[in-house]
A and B are shown apart, each in its own frame.
Chain A
């Protein structure tokens, strides 16, 4: 997570951008390329890209709620090499994790889909303890074992 002078053999990419809707396109490009670099099939990379986009949107829309701020994304191979781990760090006020949940899909309405998509696309997703001075740390792991067949 924190910058170090020692090389991290699991690191795929580390990106710090403004937490704005306009940054999401660039984030998606990097996430997709990082997943492919880790050996993921394209549909798997597309799914990880969507999940990370949704998590970053939550930071833009809810954590910062329109206030300016930065967003740090770290993509790494999992220690076992069986997937990709993503850490999304912000410097916004702390979010109450109980307020971040998906809606019942039978209740058809415009909002609340993002969290459901993240949970459907990743084996692990949730808040972790953020480093001192930061806001929120959201961590996701997507494993290759569940890779969808090539479309």
Chain B
């Protein structure tokens, strides 16, 4: 399972895990967009992501843009070193709202 979505207070939390690559990112994209369809703030926990490629990052960017369009908070948290590396290379670490921990993210929504 690449994405596990739960509810914490008024926010949905998506836990991504393992390798988010071209094979698995379509499922991640669908899960994130479905979660945003509920119009709840969405927190994406990236602590268990061991690998992410441009297709996985693209799923996050698409969710980020969808959230902005509908004015829903969209926060990434606990970004693993592997995921942060790719975000920095893509210069998206300054675009996304990134919080150090899940609790920090939940306090911000």
Q: Is the CB of A53 within 8 A of B81?
A: no
Q: Is the CB of A21 within 8 A of B61?
A: no
- Chain B residue numbers with a CB within 8 Å of A105 are 90-91
Cα-based distance from A46 to B23 in the complex (angstroms):
19
**Mask: chain B, 75-88; 1 = CB below 8 Å from A; 0 = not:** 00000011001100
B91 to chain A, nearest CB (A): 5
Q: Is B19 an interface residue (CB 8 A)?
A: yes
- Out of B22, B59, B65, B86, which one reaches A60, CB within 8 Å? B22
Q: Is the CB of A57 within 8 A of B23?
A: no
Q: Is A50 an interface residue (CB 8 A)?
A: yes
Chain A-chain B contacts (Cβ-Cβ < 8 Å), number: 60
Cα-based distance from A57 to B92 in the complex (angstroms):
21
- Chain A residue numbers with a CB within 8 Å of B19 are 25, 28
**Mask: chain B, 1-36; 1 = CB below 8 Å from A; 0 = not:** 000000000000000000101110000000000000
A-B contact pairs, 16 of them (CB 8 A): A21-B21, A21-B23, A22-B23, A24-B21, A25-B21, A28-B19, A28-B51, A46-B82, A47-B85, A57-B53, A57-B55, A60-B22, A108-B61, A110-B58, A114-B54, A121-B89
- Chain A residue numbers with a CB within 8 Å of B57 are 113
**Mask: chain B, 92-106; 1 = CB below 8 Å from A; 0 = not:** 100100000000000
- Out of B51, B53, B59, B64, which one reaches A54, CB within 8 Å? B53
Task: Please classify the interface of chain B as helix (H, G, I), strand (E, B), loop, or mixed, using the class held by over half of its residues.
Answer: helix
Q: Which residues of A contact B (CB under 8 A)?
A: 21-22, 24-25, 28, 46-47, 50, 53-54, 57, 60-61, 105, 108-111, 113-114, 116-117, 120-121, 151
Q: Is the CB of A53 within 8 A of B53?
A: yes
B21 to chain A, nearest CB (A): 5
Question: Nearest residue in B to A115 (C-beta to C-beta)?
Answer: B54
- Chain A residue numbers with a CB within 8 Å of B23 are 21-22, 24-25
- Chain B residue numbers with a CB within 8 Å of A114 are 53-54
Question: Nearest residue in B to A118 (C-beta to C-beta)?
Answer: B54
Cα-based distance from A24 to B53 in the complex (angstroms):
11
